[in-house]
Each structure stands twice: as C-alpha cells, then as structure tokens.
C-alpha cells in the first residue's frame, strides 16, 4: 500500500503554479485572460504568477474593464536594477538568486519581467 501513495506524493512535488485573471467587460461579460503557469520552484513561481496577473490586471483596467481580484491592482511591480553595465537575463537573475543576492520574490518578479520582454526596453 505504501508504494501506491508514492506516485501521488511525487505528483504533488512536481506540481506547478498556475493562475488566471477574471475581469468584467463594460458590457457586463465575465472574461478569463492571462492564463499562466510556472513550474520551477513554488517559492519563486508564486511571485512570477503574481507579477503576470498584476500586469495583466492593470492593462485590463486601462482598457475599461473591471478586475475581480482588486489586490492585483495594488501590487508594485518593481524589479531591482541589474548590476552596473549589465542587462537582466535569465542567466544573470538565476546566478544572483543562487548567490542570495535576490529574494524569491525579486527573482520571481524578474522571471516574469523577462518573460514579458520588459528587459528589452
């Protein structure tokens, strides 16, 4: 019996963090957008999902929609400046996170920031 529980346990360990945005159009239609998923480390992934959903929520409001989860609108989507003379990349963010120079939240936000192409500005 113990062996039957092992695959279920492993499934939970290898899970991913997901999210989506619910908003209402000016016409009153409920919509779902910005479905996102990260499957690295749950401690970091939750922040990457949070960043994506908050970014999406702020865009939805700019387009005249009403966001269901209002806390997403109050998040400051700030990322630290990269080291002098460098530009954010996955490799740089990962190296700094491994060194302990970035918190899980900063790293998660940076992963989403890079995924959205904001590092190309």
Nearest to 73, CA basis, from 55, 91, 47: 55
d(CA 50, CA 115): 13
The mean pLDDT values, 10 residues at a time, for the chain of 121 residues are 41 70 96 92 94 97 97 96 95 97 97 93 65
What are the helix (H) ranges across the chain? 2-13, 42-62, 90-99, 104-115
Q: Max CA-CA distance within the chain?
A: 57
Q: Model-level pTM? A: 0.84
């Amino acid at each position: 019996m113990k062996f039957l529980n092992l695959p279920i346990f492993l499934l939970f360990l290898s899970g991913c963090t997901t999210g989506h945005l619910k908003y209402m159009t000016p016409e009153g239609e409920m919509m779902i957008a910005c479905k996102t998923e990260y499957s690295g480390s749950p401690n970091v992934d939750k922040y990457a999902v949070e960043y994506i959903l908050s970014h999406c929520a702020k865009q939805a409001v700019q387009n005249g929609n009403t966001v269901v989860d209002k806390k997403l609108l109050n998040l400051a989507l700030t990322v630290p400046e990269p080291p002098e003379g460098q530009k954010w990349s996955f490799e740089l963010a990962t190296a700094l996170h491994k060194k302990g120079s970035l918190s899980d939240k900063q790293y998660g936000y940076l992963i989403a920031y890079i995924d959205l192409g904001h590092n190309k500005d």
